Amino acid sequence: MAEVTTTSFIVLFTALFMLLNSAALAVYAERRVAAFIQNRVGPNRVGPLGLFQPLADVVKLLLKEDVTPAEGNKVIHTFAPMIPVVTALMTVAVLPFGEGLYATNINASVLYLLAVASLGVYGVTLGGWASNSKYSLLGGLRAAAQMISYELPLGMAVASVVIFVGSLRVVDIAAYQETWWFVFLNPIGAIIFIISAFAESNRTPFDLVEAEQELVGGFHTEYSSMKFGMFFLAEYMHVVINSMLMTTFFFGAYHLPFAGYWLPEMPDFWKAILDVSVFTAKTVFFVFLFIWVRWTIPRFKYNQVMKLGWSRLLPISIINFFVIAAILYFIVN
């Protein structure tokens, strides 16, 4: 059983608060970075440097009419947007933000993360089906197919990390990287994980589920007001969560590079501040990477997305897993 303490509640509350607000910051950052890449100005009217633009967007969504398709399933249409938001919030429970800074440390937290992360697609699929629109249904089916295609290589990439550590606890995986990050020990697994995380987030170049050229808006075509806003919130929350997962599994979590060799001992308070700052900085970098890729690489075709997942990433991830297992068994041991 995981021990429940006051520190756990504080960490969980702070993480949830930051995650909800990070979505608004990510929207603002995306607009500014996109404007910079495209040689535009970006938001600069609402508040200083346009910082109040996300707040204006929320007010705009609240004032829009909430329309539900007459022939759609009203109950599922209403509750579908909540699923990806809730699953995104559930993931922070087992993520370590510093040494001893986590909400809970369950025995199989890696399996918990993979299970919860795979549930978000149900909101997209059910939302597309409940809208009773062919565009929305196709977007939902694409989301399901894409999730199945990339969940397998993502899981194998994580498994290749688990066999290094010999534990299914995310806290143990983070602690193991004090000296060497897994991006150095397992670079192929890191690349597979990053590509799969992009696909799981439905972000460009994998945004086939909401391709406006052929699907108008995809799964959320029939959504408006705050129902659409919740899908929008969930997308950016998953970007932040996947950035946290990249940091945790392959980029040292809250550790600095090769910290075991040069970082001196320090008081617990300052160590906690340093850990959280390092973890946050790495997460911000990967959020920037998501934005950079979106405004740089064009969207793949649907057959290219399926071929990459099944014919490239899955075989490579399986081979990588067995090679690492063989090295650990025959050479290291």
Q: How many helices, marked H, and strands, marked E, lie in the chain?
A: 15, 0
Q: Rounded to whole angstroms, how far apart are CA atoms 80 and 57? A: 21
Q: Rounded to whole angstroms, how far apart are CA atoms 280 and 209? A: 29
Of 133, 150, 125, 134, the C-alpha closest to 206 is 150
pLDDT in tens, the chain (333 residues): 444 567 777 777 788 888 878 888 888 898 899 898 888 888 888 888 888 888 888 888 888 888 888 788 888 888 888 888 888 888 888 899 888 888 888 888 999 998 888 888 888 888 888 888 888 888 888 888 888 888 899 999 999 999 999 889 999 999 999 888 999 999 999 999 999 999 888 887 888 777 666 776 777 788 888 888 888 888 888 899 999 999 999 999 999 887 767 777 887 788 888 888 899 999 999 999 999 998 888 888 888 888 898 899 999 999 999 999 999 888 876
Q: What is the DSSP string of 267-283?
A: -HHHHHHHHHHHHHHHH
Q: Rounded to whole angstroms, how far apart are CA atoms 177 and 106? A: 19
Check if the beta carbon of residue 71 is closer than 8 Å to that of residue 129. Answer: no
Q: Rounded to whole angstroms, how far apart are CA atoms 164 and 328? A: 8
